[in-house]
Amino acid sequence: MSTTEPFTIEQFYKFIVQGKLMAGQCKKCGKIHLPPRPLCDKCFSHHFTWTEIPRKGKLLTFTVIHIAPQQFQNMAPYAVGIVQLEKGAKLPGIITNVTQEQLQIGMELKIEFTECDKTQTWPQWPRYCFKPLQI
C-alpha cells in the first residue's frame, strides 16, 4: 500500500469506495488509528503507514433507533452498534439483516460497503453497514 495518500477522513472514505477498510498506523509508536489522523494522539508523530483492517468483528453494544433524523426516517426502526475489529480498532455503524431479538453483545458481524447516491452537496462519503456473520 502506498503511503502517499493523506491520512484523513476523506481518504478513509475513498478507500471505503474501493471496498477497503483502511487504518493509519503510526511509524513511531505503532498505534493504529481508525479513522486515520494526520497527527498521532499518542506520540504526536505525523508519519504513518496504511494497514488494512479485516472485515470481521464483534458487537460491543447496540441500540435500535426508532426516532430518526429526517434522512433516516424511512429506515426506522434500525439497529446501530459499536463493533470491535481486529488490531484494536472500533467502529460504529448500522446493523442490517438482524431482528431486535437476534441482537446480542459479542455476536460476530462483518462490515459491508453499500452503494450511495451521489448528491451535489458535501459530503459525498459512502456508507457502510454491519451484517451478522451467521444467524
Partner 1 sequence: MDGKPLVSIVSAGLSKFGKNEGLYARELFAEAVKEAFDRCPRLEPKRDIKAMFVGHMGESYEHQGHTASTVADWAGLLNIPATRTEAACASSGAALRSGVYAVLSGLADIVLVGGVEKMTHRSTAEVTEYLAMASDYPFEQWHGITFPGLYALMATAHMHEYGTTERQMAEVAVKNHYHGTLNPKAQMQKEITVETALASRIVASPLKLYDCSLITDGASCVIITKPDLAKRFTDQPVNIVGTGQANDTIGLYERQSFTSLQAVKLAAKNAYKMAQTKPEDIDVAEVHDCFTIAEIMAYEDLGFAPAGEGGKLAENGETCLGARLPINTSGGLKAKGHPVGATGTAQAYEIYLQLTGQAEKRQVKNAKMGLTHNVGGSGATAIVHIYRSETQ
Residue 132 binds partner 1, judged by CB under 8 A: no
Q: In the range 76-95, which residues lie near partner 1 by CB under 8 A?
A: 77-78, 80-82, 90-94
Residues 84, 58 contacting (CB under 8 angstroms): yes
CB of 69 to partner 1, least distance (A): 5
Q: Which residues contact 123 (CB under 8 A, 6 or more apart)?
A: none
CB neighbours (10 Å) of residue 71?
A: 7
The binder of partner 1 chosen from 2, 4, 18, 70 (CB under 8 A): 70
Residue 29 binds partner 1, judged by CB under 8 A: no
Of residues 19 and 77, the one with the C-beta less far from partner 1: 77
Cell of 109: 458481524
CB of 73 to partner 1, least distance (A): 7
Write the DSSP symbol of residue 11.
Answer: H
How distant, in Å, are the alpha carbons of 26, 30, 132 from that of 47?
6, 10, 35
> Segment near partner 1 (CB under 8 A), from 18-26, 44-52, 120-128?
120-128
Note the helical H segments in 9-88: 9-17
Binding residues for partner 1 (CB under 8 A)? 9, 13, 35, 60-70, 72-73, 75, 77-78, 80-82, 90-94, 100, 105, 123, 125, 127-128
